[in-house]
């Protein structure tokens, strides 16, 4: 989906610093997706117009809202069938404000729960957890305390998810093959990274390596799951084979118990990485108090983002709306 865009710069006239005006520059996070334009350090908001008209398009419009979910969570423009389906979910409300709000919540939440995201971005998050465990964060929600939070940062998550999701559009021909090839390549790359070697000496036995991975995951594996991960090393006495390290790590990351246990943490994390395009303890936040609040609320509602009002709170927040 494409929209006509007119760049509108307002209130930036004749400002100079020692004879030199601030410069315009473009910041591109993801190739082939919309970039941001800055005037000095100030973000310039585009005026989006419907083709052939002077009618502006805003995040309140169903088509732009749906388009943005694809960009923020799947890092791609929508395929036509998916786009039409989600837009229809909202427009079928026929102007009923309560219905529209509910459908926007459901539409946006569905992108995290989609097969495409679960098998790409969420798998990346779990691979970091298996490799490096959680990290400690501070929170003042309910009293000052320390909590365990996902270790992956947005500047790591975004390029790794792009690698995992490259060319994947669920429902299109051969998407499973493309996804599997991406997973294999990503696991190989992850297993060869210097950071992983620093965390796990290659002199470890396969059993020691796999035990440590499941320890980071925080789950107790079945005997068959543990054996399957160990067997990736083919009977080798150590874990010097980086491809085998990646395969074993992937096996642990795809463990069903970890998938269930980590889901709420990852869901809340993605509200920050996706909607707000930042880590939970950056920007207006100096610690993990907000993350802690939403995680506890989501946990208290059994993972139901509707009753927890989590998605709605993010998509109506000033920080989210001010992006557009």
The pLDDT of residue 107: 97
State whether the Cα torsion 52-53-57-61 is positive or negative.
negative
The pLDDT of residue 26: 84
Q: What are the structural domain ranges in the chain?
A: 1-57, 121-313
pTM of structure: 0.90
If you write DSSP's letter for every residue of 270-323 in order, what string do you get? HIIIIII-S-TTSTT-SSSHHHHHHHHHHHHTTT-TTTTTHHHHHHTSHHHHTT
Which residues make beta-bridge pairs with 20?
A: 17
Structure tokens at 129: 């957890």
How many residues does the structure list for the chain? 324
Name residue, tokens 């502006």: 56
Please name which of 92, 87, 123 lies closest in space to residue 107, comparing C-alpha atoms: 87
Name residue, tokens 């998938």: 259
Name residue, tokens 């297993």: 191
The pLDDT of residue 45: 83
The pLDDT of residue 165: 97
Structure tokens at 253: 């990351």
pLDDT tens string 118-139? 999 999 999 999 999 999 999 9
Task: Tell me, rounded to whole angstroms, the distance of Cα 37 from its chain centroid.
Answer: 23
Laid out side by side, the sheet with 24-27 consists of: 24-27, 36-39, 42-44
pLDDT tens string 160-215? 999 999 999 999 999 999 999 999 999 999 999 999 999 999 999 999 999 999 99
Angle at 189 between CA 184 and CA 195, to 5 degrees: 140
Please name which of 36, 115, 133 lies closest in space to residue 73, comparing C-alpha atoms: 115
Query: Would you write out the chain's pLDDT as a tens digit for each of its 324 residues?
Result: 445 444 444 444 334 455 566 788 888 888 888 788 888 888 888 888 999 999 999 999 999 999 999 999 999 999 999 999 999 999 999 999 999 999 999 999 999 999 999 999 999 999 999 999 999 999 999 999 999 999 999 999 999 999 999 999 999 999 999 999 999 999 999 999 999 999 999 999 999 999 999 999 999 999 999 999 999 999 999 999 999 999 999 999 999 999 999 999 999 999 999 999 999 999 999 999 999 999 999 999 999 999 999 999 999 999 999 999
The pLDDT of residue 7: 43
The pLDDT of residue 19: 58
Q: Distance (Å, rounded) from C-alpha 167 to C-alpha 177? A: 11
């Amino acid at each position: 989906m494409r929209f006509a865009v007119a760049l509108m710069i307002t209130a930036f006239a004749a400002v100079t610093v020692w004879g030199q005006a601030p410069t315009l520059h473009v910041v591109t996070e993801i190739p082939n997706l919309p970039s941001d334009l800055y005037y000095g350090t100030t973000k310039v908001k585009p005026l989006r117009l419907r083709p052939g008209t002077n009618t502006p398009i805003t995040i309140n419009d169903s088509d732009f809202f749906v388009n943005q979910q694809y960009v923020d969570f799947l890092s791609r423009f929508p395929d036509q069938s998916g786009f039409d389906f989600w837009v229809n979910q909202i427009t079928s409300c026929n102007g009923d404000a309560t219905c529209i709000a509910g459908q926007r919540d459901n539409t946006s939440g569905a992108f995290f729960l989609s097969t495409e995201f679960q098998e790409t971005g969420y798998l990346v998050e779990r691979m970091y957890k298996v490799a490096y465990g959680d990290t400690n964060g501070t929170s003042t929600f309910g009293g000052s305390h320390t909590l365990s939070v996902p270790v992956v940062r947005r500047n790591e998550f975004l390029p790794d998810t792009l690698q995992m999701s490259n060319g994947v559009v669920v429902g299109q021909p051969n998407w499973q093959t493309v996804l599997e090839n991406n997973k294999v390549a990503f696991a190989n790359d992850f297993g060869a990274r210097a950071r992983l070697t620093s965390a796990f000496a290659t002199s470890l036995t396969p059993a020691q390596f796999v035990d440590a991975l499941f320890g980071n995951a925080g789950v107790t594996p079945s005997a068959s799951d543990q054996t399957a991960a160990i067997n990736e090393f083919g009977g080798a006495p150590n874990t010097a084979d980086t491809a085998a390290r990646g395969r074993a790590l992937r096996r642990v990351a795809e463990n069903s118990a970890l998938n269930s246990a980590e889901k709420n943490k990852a869901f809340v994390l993605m509200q920050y990485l996706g909607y707000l395009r930042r880590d939970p303890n950056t920007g207006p936040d100096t610690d993990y108090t907000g993350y802690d609040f939403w995680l506890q609320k989501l946990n208290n509602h059994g993972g139901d983002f509707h009753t927890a009002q989590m998605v709605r709170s993010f998509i109506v927040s000033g920080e989210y709306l001010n992006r557009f």
